[in-house]
Amino acid sequence: MTASTMDRLTPDNTALLLIDHQTGLFNGVTTQTPHDFRANIVGLAKLGKIFKLPTIITTSAEKGPNGPILSEITSLLPNAKIVSRPGEINAWDNSEFVTAVEATGRKKLLVAGISTEVCVSFVALSAVRAGYETYAVLDASGTWSKLVEDIAVQRMVQAGVKPTSVVACGAELQGDWRNPSAAEFGPFMAEVLPFYGSVIGSYYGAKA
């Protein structure tokens, strides 16, 4: 591994943290359309499946107004560790959650959730302080106000959190179209970026 690739996300150094993607909270997000937001969340979960990333899901007050985890997430990632927090707003304050993160053995963390300025930023900031290289997957995160989201992103960036997107994470994890995961990642890219479907078709046509 070269110095230039050591800093990259890879399937071997990355874990996925999904924070409070719950049905009740989902309904309050206005920074994206419901269709786009759901598609981005599902896309991130699919990356977790494609690249076999250790995944930790956490919820807050899931039997109350916040509701259960979006069913698409649990369907795609049935073996993910789920931590149901009894009261902590910052998931990093929950010892079971932190222990689960530590148990992955990974030092790069993809973090996404609802809401961006609380559930995502609090975990991301805490993880940076704990020595993790932390990426906030912003299009798989959402909140109630664009202004609030912008402020949260600025706060995270100032603390060393790296903003990113679902497609950027996928491309970085794939790394090279010759890697075996291309068989799943190619169709994924065609799905999340329909215009890219023709590019994927050309790629596989050239290999035929």
Catalytic positions are 119
**Cβ–Cβ contacts within 10 Å for residue 71, how many?**
9
Q: Judge contact between 57 and 71, C-beta under 8 A.
A: no
Report the distance separating Cα 148 and Cα 80, nearest Å. Answer: 30
- The one-letter code for the residue type at 87 is G
Q: Judge contact between 16 and 48, C-beta under 8 A.
A: yes
Report the distance separating Cα 147 and Cα 67, nearest Å. Answer: 26
